[in-house]
């Protein structure tokens, strides 16, 4: 059973779990770095979080820059945002990403497929105002439209 953590700026207090989905500012705070658009800093930061937490995967959410998935022994997977970058409301986006990733992993998805599905869900929820949900039908439609 996958175990994921949403640490809210206490990222390095957890170790040995399945995955975590910190946003970029949480990673920056944990490591004392500034990532911005520097992919080398992002790469080092993602690998450092993997090493320090002993997670099986780290999915860093980067807002309009998409997501970056880090898995030991595998190349980093950069996932561009789904949808437009005209955001209505980011409330609950991180929770949506976490929940979708956990559900996909529990259903047997690989880390990359789970991250890609979570990216769709996060992209859909930020286009809605207020605390929003994404239905299975909306998620299915988004994946089908994109392929």
Q: What is the mean pLDDT of each run of 10 residues along the chain (147 residues)?
A: 88 94 95 95 98 97 93 97 76 88 97 96 88 91 89
37 exposure class (CB count in 10 Å sphere: 0-12, 13-18, 19+): exposed
pLDDT at res. 87: 74
- Please report the pLDDT score of residue 7 as a whole number: 83
> Catalytic pick from 85, 89, 95, 141?
95
pLDDT at residue number 85: 66
Return the domain boundaries, the chain: 4-146
Please give the pLDDT value at position 57. Answer: 98
Active site residue 95: yes
Return the CATH number of 4-146, one of 3.40.1190.20, 3.40.630.30, 1.10.1740.10, 3.40.50.2300.
3.40.1190.20
Counts for the chain of helices (H) and strands (E), in that order: 5, 5
- Its pTM stands at 0.92
Residues 6+ positions from 84 with CB-CB distance below 8 Å: 127
């Amino acid at each position: 059973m996958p175990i994921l953590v949403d640490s809210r700026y206490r990222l390095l207090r957890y170790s040995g779990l399945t995955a975590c989905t910190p946003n970029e500012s949480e990673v920056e705070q944990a490591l004392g770095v500034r990532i911005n658009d520097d992919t080398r800093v992002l790469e080092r930061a993602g690998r450092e979080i993997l090493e320090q937490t002993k997670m099986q995967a780290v999915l860093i959410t980067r807002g309009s820059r998409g997501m970056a998935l880090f898995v030991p022994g595998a190349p980093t997977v950069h996932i561009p945002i789904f949808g437009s970058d005209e955001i209505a409301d980011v409330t609950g986006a991180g929770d949506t990403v976490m929940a979708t990733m956990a559900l996909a992993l529990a259903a047997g998805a690989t880390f990359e497929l789970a991250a890609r599905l979570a990216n769709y869900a996060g992209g859909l929820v930020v286009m809605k105002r207020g605390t929003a949900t994404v239905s299975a039908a909306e998620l299915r439609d988004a994946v089908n439209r994109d392929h």
